[in-house]
Amino acid sequence: MSDEILVNVEGVSKKFCRSLKRSLWYGVQDVSREIILQKRLHPELRKNEFWAVKNVSFQLRRGECLGLIGPNGAGKSTLLKMLNGLVKPDKGRICMRGRIGALIELGAGFDPILTARENIFVNGSVLGFGRKEIKRKFDAIVDFAEVEEFIDTPVQHFSSGMKVRLGFAVAAQMTPDVLLIDEVLAVGDASFRAKCLSQMGKISAQTAMVFVSHSMPLISRVASSILSIDQGRTLFFGNDVPSGIESYQTTIQTDQISSVSSDYFEMEALKINSIECQKNSQNAKIEFGKPFLLEMQLRSRQATPEFSAMISFIDIESKGVAQVYSLTSGQTFKHETETFRLAVRLQEILLNPGRYFVQIALIEHLGAARRGRVLLFCRAAAELTVTGEFVGHSPVQLIGTWNSDD
């Protein structure tokens, strides 16, 4: 039954307090209110309080995966803790159906002095497995975590990556109806991440998943719907994953566009498709697949050597996703005049729709493949938004010529 609702969240809010002393005192008050059978908790904000989660609603069915996204401190973890029943909502109602599994922090409850073998049993019982169940799954766990050699080593001698692997291996044995995952895959190496994702893929059909991550490629790969929150408030909820991710990207505080200059050069103007990007930090918008033209007006401050130019596109997570290098086209530049123009044109921009920064570097050319000094460098010379209907999980979307034969 794919239409059964396993998670139903209606208008849930949660307050937090900025001051420790007050927070503790409010804690005493809240407990007292429970004891004297107050129907509701204190519904209004008290002094120094704010809404960590405010009026959030969503539903999740079996087989669906909700990507929960938002900047740090948006309230994602608080929401997960409420879903997991660790903390109580101050307003609203949460209804969870079936067995609930949570990967909020892996290996919580590990005792550093005990061996991996002992900790598997402890961690398993913490997660609700019976002794026989763990015994039966023991080999699978050890196998998954790849810790055979260290099975009788105290966990305190494990690297943090190994601890996480062990934690996930135990947790991966759960077959919950609802699975809550809080950014646990960020640690661990690539092969282990791949393993975790395939394990999640295996159970995804029978499970309703809530998945928290800052990695948008991962989110767009696994999520069937998006809940994007910022400062506790819902920015977006729905099945339109690209729009959800876009709403998240607008919340991110990223590099400020900075003016470009160095001892060698000063940039007087920077245009992308005729939009001046430097002067008033304008955001250049280009539709996916359309041409891209970047023009720089440069003034040299001293005699400059021969140089090459590199333009890079940096995504919202500070990853370089594509670059254009003049040497690749066999070109270098040398200018005698004080001001000059330098431009680069792309036939079509194939970047996945989203926000990017344009990084500019001018590098001294010493012949062959040798690089000299960096003459000019700016990490965020301009901001570029690529618009488009489709948002993929890869940074570059190639356009192919497709064929189909009988």
Q: Which stretch binds another protein (CB under 8 A): 24-32, 244-252, 310-318, 319-327?
A: 24-32
Q: Which stretch binds another protein (CB under 8 A): 84-92, 238-246, 324-332, 348-356?
A: 84-92
Q: How far apart, in whole angstroms, are the C-alpha atoms of residue 396 and residue 301?
A: 37
CA distances from 72 to 82, 228, 232 (A): 18, 12, 11
For residue 109, state whether it binds another protein (rule: CB under 8 A): yes
Q: Is 63 in the site for another protein (CB under 8 A)?
A: no
Amino acid at 245: I
Contact 130, 120 (CB under 8 A): no
Q: Which of these, 94, 129, 93, 126, lies nearest to 108 by C-alpha position? A: 126
Q: The dihedral of CA 228, 234, 239, 244: what is its sign?
A: negative
Query: Could you tell me the smallest distance in angstroms from the CB atom of residue 89 to another protein?
Result: 6
What's the residue count for the chain?
Answer: 406
Pairing status of strand 225-230 against strand 233-238: antiparallel
CA distance 197 to 172: 11
Work out which of 59, 61, 94, 299 binds another protein, going by CB under 8 A: 94
**Which of 49, 84, 163, 172 is close enough to bind another protein by CB under 8 A?**
84
* Secondary structure of residue 61 in the 3-state scheme: strand
Give the strand order in the sheet containing 339-346. 275-276, 265-272, 292-300, 339-346
Q: Is 70 exposed, middle or buried (0-12, 13-18, 19+ CB in 10 A)?
A: buried
| Residue 203 contacts another protein per CB under 8 A | no
Using rule CB under 8 A, residue 31 touches another protein: yes
From the list 128-136, 352-360, 373-381, 398-406, the region that binds another protein by CB under 8 A is 128-136
Residue 27 or 238 having the CB closest to another protein: 27
Quick check: 39 binds another protein (CB under 8 A)?
Answer: yes
Region near another protein per CB under 8 A, out of 95-103, 210-218, 221-229, 297-305:
95-103
Among 55, 59, 61, 87, binds another protein (CB under 8 A): 87
CB of 101 to another protein, least distance (A): 10
Alpha carbon 276 to its chain centroid, in Å, reads 30
Q: Pick the binder of another protein from 33, 117, 214, 290 (CB under 8 A).
A: 33
Q: Which of 73, 85, 161, 201 binds another protein (CB under 8 A)?
A: 85
Per CB under 8 A, 1 contacts another protein: yes
Nearest Cα neighbor of 134 from 168, 173, 106 is: 173
By CB under 8 A, tell whether 141 contacts another protein: no
Asked if residue 369 binds another protein (CB under 8 A), the reply is no
Cα three-residue angle 52-54-59, rounded to 5 degrees: 115
* Residue of 51, 63, 104, 281 interacting with another protein (CB under 8 A): 104
- Among candidate residues 71, 103, 69, 80, the one with its CA nearest the CA of residue 7: 80
What binding mask, one character per residue, do residues 324-353 give for another protein by CB under 8 A, x or -?
Answer: ------------------------------
Contacts of 42 by beta carbon, 8 Å cutoff, 6+ apart: 26, 29, 30, 33, 90
- Cα 42 to the center of its chain, rounded Å: 34
Window 207-266: residues binding another protein (CB under 8 A): none
| Residue among 95, 99, 71 nearest 83 (CA) | 95
Does 45 contact another protein by CB under 8 A? no
> Per rule CB under 8 A, is residue 40 in the interface with another protein?
yes
Q: Which of 56, 60, 69, 96 binds another protein (CB under 8 A)?
A: 96
Choose one: 127-135, 261-269, 336-344, 360-368; the region binding another protein (CB under 8 A).
127-135
The window from 66-74, 97-105, 219-227, 295-303 that contacts another protein (CB under 8 A) reads 97-105
DSSP state for residue 351 in the 8-state scheme: B
Binding segment for another protein (CB under 8 A), chosen from 93-101, 251-259, 311-319, 383-391, is 93-101
Select 40 or 334, whichever has its Cβ closest to another protein: 40
- Please choose, from the candidates 178, 175, 184, the residue with its C-alpha nearest in 3D space to the C-alpha of residue 209: 178
Residue 11 interacting with another protein (CB under 8 A) = no
Residues in the site for another protein, rule: CB under 8 A? 1, 4, 6, 14, 16, 23-24, 26-28, 30-31, 33-35, 37-41, 81-82, 84-100, 102, 104-105, 108-109, 111, 113-114, 118, 121-122, 125-128, 130-131, 177
